[in-house]
Every structure is written in C-alpha cells, then in structure tokens.
Amino acid sequence: MSTGRWKSDISRLAWCKTCRKSWKSGKIHAIARQHSEREGHEVKVVEEITYIYFDEDENENSQTNRPATDTPRGW
C-alpha cells in the first residue's frame, strides 16, 4: 500500500452580480471594493479550495486523485 500526502490550492474569484464582470487574479478584495464603490454594484469574492493527493511513489507533478472542490465560500 502506498502512502501519499494532500496539498491544498486556494483560488479566488471576484464577481459583479450586476454587470457580470469577473476577476481571477490580482488583489481581488481591492478590485472588488473599488468596483463596488465606483459603480455602486454588489461584488462577491469567492474562495475555492482544491485538495490534491500526491502519491509518495511518484513525483509531485503526477496527480493520482483530484477530488471535487469544496463549496465556494461567500455565496
């Protein structure tokens, strides 16, 4: 039986409910706040955590199992 380890990856997304714009990189919270203040729109920031299992017998670039992501926070 092989042993492995879990690694997590957090990705963030800002999404404007009014004009449907989205931002995936940069300073997401600052971008969301500026857009909300400038346009008067409601902007949501969502965090998504993905867990990846790496088998100890293989290198880190070889993913053996990638389960579904958690429910995004902020909705």
| Domain residue ranges of the chain, discontinuous segments joined by + | 4-57
pLDDT digits (tens, 9 = 90+) for 6-54: 888 888 899 999 999 999 877 888 999 999 999 999 999 988 888 888 7
Average pLDDT over residues 57-75: 50
The pLDDT score that the predictor gives to residue 49 is 85
Q: How far apart are CA 58 and CA 65, in angstroms?
A: 12
The pLDDT score that the predictor gives to residue 74 is 52
* pTM, 2 dp: 0.51
Q: How far apart are CA 48 and CA 56, in angstroms?
A: 25
From start to end of 1-75, where are the E strands?
4-16, 22-23, 43-55, 63-65
